[in-house]
Structure 1
Amino acid sequence: MILSVCPNPSIDTYAWLEDFRLGQANRISKQQEFPGGKGVHVAMALNEAGESTKLLASWAGHSGIWIKSTCEELGIATTGVELRGMNRKCYTFLSETSSVQNTELMEPGPEMTQKDFDRFAGVFKRELEKADVVVLSGSWPKGAPETAYQELIAIANREEKNVILDCSGVQLERALEENVFGIHLNEHEAKQYCGTPDVLDAIHKLHEKVDLIALTKGKEGLYLSYQGKLIHANVTLEKVISTVGCGDCLTAGVAHGVSQGVGVEEIARYGAAFGAANCLRADLGMIYKADVEQLLPRVIINELTYG
């Protein structure tokens, strides 16, 4: 079982407008809502692929009930802690005529006290016993300690459980004070943490603390370094509908490959196919198994040489 941890889930809302007029009333013509948050996307992708997964999250208010129940309707087992307030909504406003495209508004979400975090860590430790792989991804609610992921990784390391991490900022910096099995970073996060835009330089620095490194560069694809191999994986798509959640689905693909015990090339193949599958539909942060199966044989794998 893969434990998918999402400390700060959201409702991702797409709202269509004829035009976006600042300072005036704007009427929404169509609206769609999806369960969101990086860890939620990971759990949905794993579940669709047929992988056993459980979603551990912080649930708050009516929005938390909606996210949780929607995931459960998809067949995803859930657990976690309840917080005061409401899980955040992230709005994307799309206008066909305005020069202001894809305007985003993000709610603050609930706050997490130290006591709340301690309860979260307790649930994590309990669920860890049943997990083969753990994916930690996304932000934390306001008030959570800067060492939140670091503390969860320390717990997992003591239990000898493989953790794959996908986060940024101070949480990433503190987390990498521990040894981490796997990490997914995009090129901007890698540059921010490693201080270099060069893939090989970034991977070399990250390997001081990390065994498996998945570094993505948009259309350029995935660079996966693991077990002494550096693999480049990419797949060409004729049409991209939405890229929201692609990185999260790629993380899920890598976790799926690790859980299945396949080789480095196949881990990279799953990662690239999962990420690309998310581009083929308008559903945010979601994949379809049929799309993944169609893409897997189309992924181009190349082994690169270090240095």
Structure 2
Amino acid sequence: MILCLCPNPSVDSYAWLNTMDTGTVNRISSLKAFPGGKGTHVACALNEMGIPVKLMGIWAGKSGEYIRQECHKRNIPTCGIEIDGENRRCYTFRSLNTAFNSTELLEPGPELLEQNWKEFLKDFRKQITEVQLIIISGSFPKNAPQDAYLQLIELCNRVGKKVIIDCSGIQLKNAMRSSFFGIHINEQEIRNLAAHNSITDTIKSLKEKTTWLALTLGKKGLRLIKGNEEVQANVVVNNVKSTVGSGDCLTAGIAAAIFKKLGMKEIARYGVAFGAANCLNENLGMLRKEDVNDLIRNVNIKISSYVS
């Protein structure tokens, strides 16, 4: 089984309206909600493809109850701690008016107390003993330790569990004080991490910390690097409906292939197909098995030696 950790779950909503004007009333014509947060998207994608998965989160209020209930409807077991407050709601405003199409508004979410963090670590120690692979994705609630990822990685390393991370900012910088099995990072995140260093040097630094490095480049596809090997993968997608959650679905694809003990080409192929399949579905952060199976046959693969 794979444990997907979503430290900061959310209720993701599509809000449709004709136009958006400041200083006046804007009426939403339709609203549709989905269970969200990066780790939730990963869990839903793996579950859709028949991979045994459990979702661990930090749950708060009615929003947290909704997210868990929606996951249970999909036969995804959940675990984790409950805290005061409400899990955040994230709104994506959609319109034919391209001036504001896919504008997002994100709520702050709950605050994590020191005692909450201790309880969470205790539960995490228990959960990781029961799984083969751990995926930690996304942000933490307010007041979480700035080295939260680092602490969780070190707990996994102590018991010999493989962990894949997807984070940014101070959490990523602190995580690099340790080593981990895999990382998914996008082009903007690696530029932010590089700061005044070159992208090449930053990739080299990451390679020293991880077995698998998945670097996504938007429409240019995926660079999957392991040691001195590199696979570049991409697939053409027509009729894109939503890109929200595509990176999370790509993480799920990589994890699924690793869980199945497939080779490097297939890991890249799965990752790209999962990410692209999400684009064909208007439901936020979701994919359909039939789309993955169609796309996976059309992924273009290029194998090369990694050049630092």
Query: What TM-score does the superposition give when structure 1 sets the normalisation length?
Result: 0.96
What RMSD, in angstroms, separates the aligned Cα atoms of the two structures? 1.5
Distance in 1 of aligned mates of 2:124 and 2:51: 19
Aligned CA distance change for structure 1 residues 200 and 224 (closer, same or farther; 3 Å): farther
Instruction: Give yes or no for the alignment of 1:299 onto 2:299.
Output: yes
Aligned CA distance change for structure 1 residues 116 and 209 (closer, same or farther; 3 Å): same
Distance in 2 of aligned mates of 1:96 and 1:271: 30
Instruction: Give yes or no for the alignment of 1:66 onto 2:69.
Output: no
In the alignment, what sits opposite 1:185? 185
In the alignment, what sits opposite 1:10? 10
Aligned CA distance change for structure 1 residues 184 and 264 (closer, same or farther; 3 Å): same
In the alignment, what sits opposite 2:83? 83
Instruction: Give runs of aligned pairs for residues 16-165 of structure 1, distance below 5 A.
Output: 16-97=16-97, 99-165=99-165
Distance in 2 of aligned mates of 1:272 and 1:100: 28
Q: Which runs of 5+ in 2 are unaligned?
A: none
Aligned CA distance change for structure 1 residues 144 and 255 (closer, same or farther; 3 Å): same
Distance in 1 of aligned mates of 2:284 and 2:130: 29
In the alignment, what sits opposite 1:244? 244
The C-alpha deviation readout for 1:57-100, integer Å capped at 9, x for no partner, is 01100011000100110110100100100000011222334743
Quick check: 1:16–1:31 contact (8 Å CA) kept in 2?
yes
Distance in 2 of aligned mates of 1:222 and 1:198: 19
The C-alpha deviation readout for 1:223-243, integer Å capped at 9, x for no partner, is 001253100011111221111
Instruction: Give yes or no for the alignment of 1:259 onto 2:232.
Output: no
Quick check: 2:225–2:306 contact (8 Å CA) kept in 1?
no
Matched to 1:211, the amino acid is T
Report the number of matched residues. 307
After TM superposition, give the deviation of residue 197 of structure 1 in Å: 9.0
Instruction: Give runs of aligned pairs for residues 165-180 of structure 1, distance below 5 A.
Output: 165-180=165-180
In the alignment, what sits opposite 1:211? 211
Query: What TM-score does the superposition give when structure 2 sets the normalisation length?
Result: 0.96
- The share of aligned pairs that are identical, in percent, is 48
After TM superposition, give the deviation of residue 248 of structure 1 in Å: 0.3
Quick check: 1:89–1:107 contact (8 Å CA) kept in 2?
yes
After TM superposition, give the deviation of residue 195 of structure 1 in Å: 4.0
Q: Which runs of 5+ in 1 are unaligned?
A: none
Quick check: 2:134–2:163 contact (8 Å CA) kept in 1?
yes
